[in-house]
Amino acid sequence: MIDAGSTGSRIHIYKFHNCGPSPEFEYEVFEMIKGGLSSYRGDPAGAAKSLDRLMDRAMEVVPEKFRKCTPVAVKATAGLRLLGAEESKNILDAVKTRLDRVYPFPVVKKDGVVIMDGKDEGQSQNLPEYIQLLTIGLARCLCLDNSKLPPKYRPP
């Protein structure tokens, strides 16, 4: 998960143990870069490329066999909101396009690259949703029988 803030962007790469009845958190890898997406006003491609160092870290950490089933989400904050609707949309579209074209990680389908609502900033409300996405992705990737997953983690 990438937290794209006004002063910089951060990636949180979570490792879970998925062999029990429910996923268990093992550890997190964290990396940060300075300069938020909003500092790329008028340069959506540059904004998208600015996340490469974070995504390259994910490529180092996530084993190759799990990359295609490890989702990525980008949650932007207030800085991008201040640019206005058209400019922020251009940047978010460029970020999503670059993630889709350059990296093997699937972008979360619903609200995968978005500006968070102000009330959601600074909270880890997205973590449970992200854990569910990881579990579903890994179950599919490992060809597990989804019926054996706890109901709240089964794909719809």
pTM of the model: 0.77
Residue range of the domain that includes 148: 2-153
SS3 labels along 95-148: HHHHHHHHCCCCECCCCCEEECCHHHCCCCCHHHHHHHHHHHHHHHHCCCCHHH
Number of domains in the chain: 1
CATH number where 9 lies: 3.30.420.40
Do the beta carbons of residue 16 and residue 24 sit within 8 Å? Answer: yes
The CA angle 6-102-78, to the nearest 5 degrees, is 15
Write the pLDDT tens digit of every residue in 124-137.
445 555 555 555 45
Among the options 24, 64, 86, 121, which is catalytic? 121
Give residue 147's pLDDT band: very low, low, confident or very high (50, 70, 90): low
What tokens does 87 get? 């400019």
In the residue annotation, 60 being an active-site residue is answered as no
Write the pLDDT tens digit of every residue in 58-106.
999 999 988 988 889 999 987 888 898 999 999 999 999 999 999 999 9
Q: Are strands 2-4 and 8-17 parallel, antiparallel or unpaired?
A: antiparallel
pLDDT surpasses 50 at 123: no
